[in-house]
Structure 1
Amino acid sequence: MSRLVDTHIHIWNLDQVEYPWLKGNTSILNRTYDLNELEPQRKTTGITSGVLVQAANNAEDTAWMIRTAELHPWITGIVGWLPLQDPAATARILEKEYVPGAKLKGVRHLIHDEPDPRWLLQDTVLESLGLLAAGDIPYDLVGVLPVHIKTALEVAEKWPSLRMVFDHCNQPPIGRVDSEWEDLMTIAAKHPNFYVKLSGLGTAAQKGGAWTAADLEPSIDFVLRHFGVHRCFFGGDWPVSLLAGSYETTWTAYRTLIEKKLDPQAQAKLYHLNAERFYKLPL
């Protein structure tokens, strides 16, 4: 294996950016996380490149990711935030910052923190998503409810050329049965521009650090069966993943399962080729 891309890394700096979701948070997440802290684990796990993903619905978070990426050449892409409710402002930023050679490669909004789970279906937001589709810029879907999948399906009907990825598999039912999640993801898989990010699964198991690779296997099998090896890729979800164990534990579980199931050619698709194609990452 020559390359291993972590497509889902977070950083946050409480002195530089406001993170509303961290207010009152009493977990280990409520502190600044600098990318230098991840470096020893990155080397141990063999990660060769990474994608920083937005952690706040504001421009300051994106600016902080850009500044950090400039200091860490192994960061080859950034999924930033845009004011999607303002199509004119979105257009200006896209024209100025989402340009060839820039590290900004995708867009995300914390839709799971919005009171309205159908937030993406606002007329202004849909107009902005149309700009992403026109520019072939992918969108990360951070959903946690079945209605988030339903909403994504409606977005796909409006903008069928928009490439979208379900972050964290849209919270699969690990250790339990959820026919609605399975039915909706099966429908989503029929749309060729939906991808799945195999990330955050240790946290989704809701066992703290007591989960095993076997706990994740049914969900990974389901996703591979329906979306195929061409539309899946991996993300470590650091530092959120630390709620469920170490960075090394997460990647060991993912690699153990994939290397048991797939030949080296298929493994390469999940480890780097699909991510490089989806986010248009430099090689």
Structure 2
Amino acid sequence: MKIVDTHLHIWDLSRAAYPWLENDTSILNRTWCIAELEHARAAAGVTHGMLVQASGCREDTELMMETARNTPWINGVVAWLPLTDTRQTQELLETTYLQEPYFKGVRHQVHDEDDTRWLLQPAVINSLKFLARHGIPYDFVGVLPEHLETALEVAERVPDLRMVFDHLNQPPISTGETFGRWGTLMKAAARHPNFYAKISGLGTASGNFAGRTADHISPYVAYVLEHFGAGRCFCGGDWPVSMLADDYAGTWQTITHILGRLCNEADQEKILYDNACRFYNLSTL
């Protein structure tokens, strides 16, 4: 079975600034390159991959593009754009990224912004409308219920924009709550046909992940599948951040084990491959 890992990161501390890594004392605070993943990728059975932005700067995007061009199994890049400057966003798209075959989506690290309503700034909304006109999807990375509320407002203002909730917007796995405010808002989001759910980052979701197992994660995946359906979910490994909780092969073993329990084979193929190809316009695979 073919698998698209829709959520991989790389970073090079000599090439770009990564503010979220400042003062980080974990294994993450070093340069991570895609070559490190090759053996584990083969062991995990992952056949295709997407690189996702790790910093709000063009240097990070150029590093990902360069890596994609030189890595046969990497098929796309979710890039950063200066969304608060609509004119510059439009110029970069028209002069550079719309001609770039690896450019497949856009993300901004809204979870690192002080304002949970950051995306609702008029200039950002205008930039998102421009993405929607060109069929470019947006990766939404939130960690709070307030982020979900913002996403719902974005969907009302830019109804044609396809968006995916990275890491399911941090379900309350660490507390075992089922399903609380997160569940109510995700259920509301599922009623919008252009919202998708990315099953990723759940090994480290909400912290307190020591000893986390498939049994801890499975109820939240089941809930999302119930409301979004097998046609609007896909998966990501969130490497190397996922290494804080498990190795790469172990992360994917957990994902495929959960899907094997919850889905038939046809739905597994959708979630592991088909839906990602459709969402990110990976027509060349």
> What is the alpha-carbon distance in structure 1 between the residues aligned to residue 121 and residue 65 of structure 2?
28
> What is the alpha-carbon distance in structure 2 between the residues aligned to residue 209 and residue 35 of structure 1?
26
| 1:203-228 per-position Cα deviation (integer Å, ceiling 9, x unaligned) | 01634441111111110010000000
Q: Does 1:123 align with 2:109?
A: no
Partner amino acid, structure 1, of 2:193: P
Aligned length: 282
> What is the alpha-carbon distance in structure 1 between the residues aligned to residue 266 and residue 96 of structure 2?
35
Answer whether contact 2:143 2:170 (CA < 8 A) is retained: yes
Q: Secondary structure at the match of 1:201?
A: coil
TM-score by length of 1: 0.97
Q: How do 1:202-217 and structure 2 match up within 5 A?
A: 202-204=203-205, 206-217=207-218
* 1:48 equivalent in structure 2: 47
Q: Secondary structure at the match of 1:172?
A: coil
Q: Are the structure 2 counterparts of residues 205 and 129 from structure 1 closer, same or farther at C-alpha, using a change threshold of 3 Å?
A: closer
Q: For structure 2, which runs of at least 5 residues remain unmatched after alignment? A: none
> What is the alpha-carbon distance in structure 2 between the residues aligned to residue 10 and residue 208 of structure 1?
20
Answer whether contact 2:164 2:198 (CA < 8 A) is retained: yes
CA RMSD of aligned residues (A): 1.1
Q: How do 1:122-201 and structure 2 match up within 5 A?
A: 122-174=121-173, 175-177=175-177, 178-201=179-202
* 1:225 equivalent in structure 2: 226
* 1:89 equivalent in structure 2: 88
Q: Larger deviation: 198-207 or 230-239?
A: 198-207
> What is the alpha-carbon distance in structure 2 between the residues aligned to residue 264 and residue 185 of structure 1?
25
How far did residue 99 of structure 1 move?
2.6
Answer whether contact 1:209 1:243 (CA < 8 A) is retained: no
Q: Does 1:246 align with 2:247?
A: yes
> What is the alpha-carbon distance in structure 2 between the residues aligned to residue 39 and residue 94 of structure 1?
31
* 2:30 equivalent in structure 1: 31
| 1:175-199 per-position Cα deviation (integer Å, ceiling 9, x unaligned) | 4215111110010000000000000
> What is the alpha-carbon distance in structure 2 between the residues aligned to residue 183 and residue 208 of structure 1?
24
Q: Secondary structure at the match of 1:230?
A: helix
* 2:281 equivalent in structure 1: 280
| 1:68-101 per-position Cα deviation (integer Å, ceiling 9, x unaligned) | 1111011101000000011111111111233366
Q: How do 1:258-269 and structure 2 match up within 5 A?
A: 258-269=259-270
Identity %: 53
> What is the alpha-carbon distance in structure 2 between the residues aligned to residue 62 and residue 33 of structure 1?
15
Q: Secondary structure at the match of 2:216?
A: helix
Partner amino acid, structure 1, of 2:255: Y
> What is the alpha-carbon distance in structure 1 between the residues aligned to residue 95 and residue 42 of structure 2?
34
> What is the alpha-carbon distance in structure 2 between the residues aligned to residue 94 and residue 131 of structure 1?
9
